[in-house]
Amino acid sequence: MRKLRRLGWPCSGCRPVGTVPAMKQSVILNAVVMLCVCLATGCGGLMRNDNSEGVKLYQQGNYKGAVDHFQQALAKQPGSPDCFYNLGATYHQQAKLFGRPADMQTAEQYYHLCLARAPNHEACQRALAVLLVEENRTAEATAQLQEWARREPGNPNPQIELARLCQEHGDVRQAENHLIDALAIAPDNTRALVALGQLREASGDPTQALQNYSRALAVDGQQPTVAAKVASLNGSTPATGTLAR
């Protein structure tokens, strides 16, 4: 199974209330991130209890127990997109850890069930695209993300995910274009700003990278890794004027 090569792009900050990340979801510039998964605990009564317990078991590596609780939550709220997503994420993780193709197929089925009911479920859109790339189905992943972008023209996240996909396949110019498109939609999107800074730093343009990082930090000052990058680049980049904010 092909592993995704990442520059450590920041993950989306969109998480339902009470979610638990399966992999680190803060801004990380030097880590390799295969998949950003957040598990939704649901919103009400017994279902929330089952989902919460499922999240705990998932964190502990007890994936069978997590699946059992997510299935119980689904039985109490049939058709819940979050339940389908949680099940897909758990089977996806099992497939990667244990090399079980059947689990990958099951994960994909659950992701599609989620998106059939909630087409703009951002975590699921992202997870399905990652799964398709891992299965060497990049054209399908691209088409899926392009359709998401067409359906949600005011949402920057499809453009960010398309940029990630382009970068992983060596098309840095197109990745940069998608990030610029994302920032045209949402100029203060820190994910896009940091990702664009990473691309520009990697391509040997520290001045532009510093501007992007500085602007991201101005929007959200609680990004210690980005702050460290700004400090480092400030020490090695000649002053060329006022930084973009």
117: containing domain: 1-136
Q: For residue 245, tell me if it sits in a domain.
A: no
Residue 212 contacts residue 244 (beta carbons within 8 Å)? yes
Total tally of structural domains belonging to the chain: 2
Same domain, 88 and 7: yes
DSSP H helical ranges for the chain:
45-59, 63-76, 81-98, 101-117, 122-134, 138-151, 157-168, 172-185, 190-202, 206-219, 224-236
Q: Is the whole-model pTM more than 0.85?
A: no
CB 199 within 8 A of CB 218: no
Q: Do 3 and 119 sit in the same domain of this protein?
A: yes
Query: What CA–CA distance (Å, rounded) separates 5 from 207?
Result: 25
In a domain, 170, yes or no: yes
User: Are residue 166 and residue 187 in the same domain, yes or no?
Assistant: yes
One domain for residues 148 and 121: no
**At 215, which CATH number?**
1.25.40.10
* Residue 244 located in a structural domain: no
User: Of 89, 106, 136, which residue sits at a domain end?
Assistant: 136
Please indicate, yes or no, whether residues 116 and 175 belong to a single structural domain of this protein.
no
Q: What string of pLDDT tens digits covers the 245 residues of the chain?
A: 333 334 445 554 333 222 333 333 332 222 223 333 456 555 444 456 878 889 899 999 999 999 999 999 999 989 999 999 999 999 999 999 999 999 999 999 999 999 999 999 999 999 999 999 999 999 999 999 999 999 999 999 999 999 999 998 889 999 999 999 999 999 999 999 999 999 999 999 999 999 999 999 999 999 999 999 999 998 865 444 333 33
Residues in the chain: 245
> 110 and 161: one domain?
no
